Amino acid sequence: MAHYYQRPEVQEVADCIGDSLALAQQAAKTDADIIVLCGVHFMAETAKILCPDKKVLIPDLNAGCSLADSCKAADLRAWKEAHPGHTIVSYVNTSAEVKALTDIVVTSSNALKIVQSIPADQPILFGPDQNLGRYIAQMTGRDMDIWNGACHVHSRFSVEALIALKREHPDAPVLAHPECKQAILTLSDVIGSTQALLNYVKAHPEAPKFIIATEVGVLHEMQKACPEAIFLPVPPEVTEGVGCQCNECEYMRMITLEKLYDCLLHNSPEVFVAPAIAEKAIIPIQRMLALS
Ligand code: 13P
Ligand code: SF4
């Protein structure tokens, strides 16, 4: 199984590719004995929680996520204790320990629908992505308390570069992931999850150009869907001292074809989730799947 942000050659050998929601759904229904998750660690953990009797492998255990790292379970517990009576809505980009403290998990594909399903008078704590949280609050009119985490890839797109791209290509729609900061979303024509952005491209095969504000791995599938179209990725802000000045997630890129080969050869490295955590974490994940 591979996420759309994986290297093209990894996507090409996968049996299924998808966004976070699709990968969780596929994991929940597969009858395979072993799942190899080509994505980041929280995705493999989610698969393991859903399939405790299966072996879940990830080609590199170090493939983490800056957003998941921005919310430690101890800090979430303190936030929760300071807000009794609130419903805890957590993005899937979280550790198993954070999910175990959560009432309902969301992905960018279903966050809007799930927040709308919560009674209007029920107060909500939403975490950890502040950009997705703000976007969902705007769309639903809900006054949610929002954690201040962010994805380092989606929050670093350059507003100036996007304005320049729009000036140069006024006919190209701007497609952005809701993990992007407000100024990028304000300048966008279409806001949606990785799958929603891909669906938009597939529904517009006649469009000559698209400006894309999300992780560039998805361009592989977009280009396959519309081989004639030109995809213009929004570059990140250039920050002194920061190693990666591109719009790739370096955690996603830790998964290489060579590591995948070794992983299949040795059935390792394996992902484990402590049973006491897994039995709590599965509840908000299953609530999400039931509403998706
Ligand atoms: P989706 O796959 O839900 O669009 O999330 C994007 C992301 O950043 C995954 O890590
Ligand atoms: Fe995490 Fe951002 Fe990478 Fe997605 S793109 S895995 S949210 S760091």
Taking the CA of residue 18 as reference, the ligand 1 atom at the shortest distance is 2
Tell me whether residue 244 is in a domain: no
Same domain, 130 and 193: no
The answer to whether 133 and 146 have CB atoms below 8 angstroms apart is yes
Q: If you measure from the C-alpha of residue 250 to the centroid of ligand 2, how many angstroms do you get, rounded to a whole number? A: 9
Q: Which of 67, 107, 216, 244 to mutate to test the pocket of ligand 2 (most atoms within 8 A of CB)?
A: 67
Cα–Cα distance, 271 to 59 (Å, whole number):
10
Position 246 pLDDT exceeds 90: no
* Nearest CA owner, ligand 2 atom 6: 65
Point out which residues pair with 56 in neighbouring strands.
35
Position 245 pLDDT exceeds 80: no
Q: How confident is the model over 216-238, as a mean pLDDT?
A: 95
Q: Does residue 252's CB lie within 6 angstroms of at least one atom of ligand 2?
A: yes
Q: Does residue 76's CB lie within 6 angstroms of at least one atom of ligand 2?
A: no
Position 90 pLDDT exceeds 90: yes
What is the residue range of 180's domain?
A: 154-233
Q: What's the predicted TM-score (pTM) here?
A: 0.95
Q: Does residue 215's CB lie within 6 angstroms of at least one atom of ligand 2?
A: yes
**Residue 240 has what pLDDT?**
65
pLDDT digits (tens, 9 = 90+) for 121-146: 999 999 999 999 999 999 999 989 99
**Residue 238 has what pLDDT?**
79
Provide the 10 A C-beta neighbour count for residue 26: 19
Distance between first and last Cα of the chain: 19
Provide the 10 A C-beta neighbour count for residue 184: 25
**Residue 138 has what pLDDT?**
97
Same domain, 22 and 162: no
pLDDT tier, 101 (very low <50, low <70, confident <90, very high otherwise): very high
- CATH number of the domain enclosing 205: 3.40.50.10800
Cα–Cα distance, 16 to 8 (Å, whole number):
13
% of the chain residues with pLDDT over 90: 95
H helical segments located in the chain: 8-13, 20-29, 41-50, 66-69, 73-82, 96-100, 111-116, 130-140, 159-168, 182-186, 194-202, 219-225, 257-266, 275-291
